[in-house]
Chains A and B, each alone.
Chain A
């Protein structure tokens, strides 16, 4: 079902070729989170990968930032309809973090310091598709945008890119995270407009 709403012209007719359906271009960087912004100190920060067997691999901030990093320029798409093109990040690829982790898991729950969670298929984090990012636009990542470090999974809606990320828990079966339990899509592909459960 689709019909014309008479009188609606739409102003931004230069529909960008690389915008997913239903998205519009944002030039600022809107902030969306469900609660207060946590202020985290890097001297107490750690990143933890927990396998389905309970084995943990941990990095302190110093260890984490000493890992090989990548500088990437990617487009990001928020489910609240804004997209931002050509954003520049520095982060550690999940491939690098997973190098010595033994697991048969197919799914991951990302956990954040504020209690936020989001679920993803493991394969969507590998092969150069995802990072734990700690610099944005040549500056340290600010708390509002998820600093000191956030997950960066640009090919999925941006709620999957958990702010203030604390770790990844590997899972044999998929489980819904925070927004996913509240009706948002388990996968969240912006190009297929998978905003909500059932899309």
Chain B
């Protein structure tokens, strides 16, 4: 059945869970089958709507993890209403409603020649991973650096894939800050050591919890980066 194609209009679509896998004990990647997914830019998100038997509904936004097709990675929040369902209960073959892609600001375009600095805090890696995957899919050589702040090595989402991509691709550099292991949060020295210098005029994408993004964005500005070149996405 063809959907009404109203240009620019985001309609709710039925999506069926095609496959799923755990990235960490609390982060699960969901791959959806969406019959006429229009494609998206890395960094965009989707809205997911769940309906309970009594008609109660809940909506949440999730960053898209994939470069093509549609997958998201959900981090379970223990006091959450929706995420524990999606990580623990939601099963292959089950439908949900979703609409998207949404957001035209926090996106990377493969045609942009500027070097890219990605800085992730925790599950803030998800939309940045979509950018890394998109870069590879498009075969562009734009130099990418990822600085990934996470509590312990066990909390790294996409650990194997990141290791493999960084090994096989000289244009992708990945550095980790394990905050729980060393007992301190990301700081000026980490960013100064591992991020592109301001002189390179990189396109900067920062994603993570609010406090993390505030801290990192302040550091980048203090290190001389143009505030207009720093795009942020905050959650929580």
Interface residues, chain A, with chain B CB atoms under 8 Å away: 1-13, 15, 22, 24, 30-38, 80-81, 114-115, 144, 178-179, 181-183, 195-199
Contact = CB atoms under 8 A, between A and B. Distances in A.
Given A10-B57, A30-B235, 9 more contacts: A1-B97, A7-B85, A7-B89, A10-B58, A11-B81, A12-B81, A31-B234, A34-B231, A81-B60
B25 to A, nearest CB: 20
Interface string B72-112: 00000000010001000111001111000011111000000
B214 A144 contact: yes
Q: By DSSP majority rule, is chain A's interface helix, strand, loop, or mixed?
A: loop
B198 interface: no
Contacts of A12: 58, 81
A37 B214 contact: yes
Contacts of B85: 7-8
A34 B6 CA distance: 28
Interface stretch (B47-55, B116-124, B133-141, B186-194): B47-55
Contact of A30 (B89, B103, B236): B236
19 contacts: A1-B12, A3-B51, A5-B52, A8-B89, A10-B52, A10-B57, A10-B81, A30-B210, A30-B234, A34-B106, A36-B217, A36-B227, A37-B217, A81-B61, A144-B214, A182-B105, A197-B10, A198-B6, A198-B10
A181 B8 CA distance: 11
A178 B53 CA distance: 38
B218 interface: yes
B182 interface: no
Contacts of B210: 30-31, 144
A8 B90 CA distance: 8
A32 B217 CA distance: 13
B235 to A, nearest CB: 8
B170 interface: no
B20 interface: no
Contacts of B14: 1, 3
A59 to B, nearest CB: 25
| The 8 residue pairs across chains A and B that have the minimum distance between CB atoms | A198-B9, A182-B104, A36-B217, A22-B59, A8-B50, A31-B210, A11-B81, A7-B89
Given A1-B97, A8-B52, A183-B104, A35 B217 contact: yes
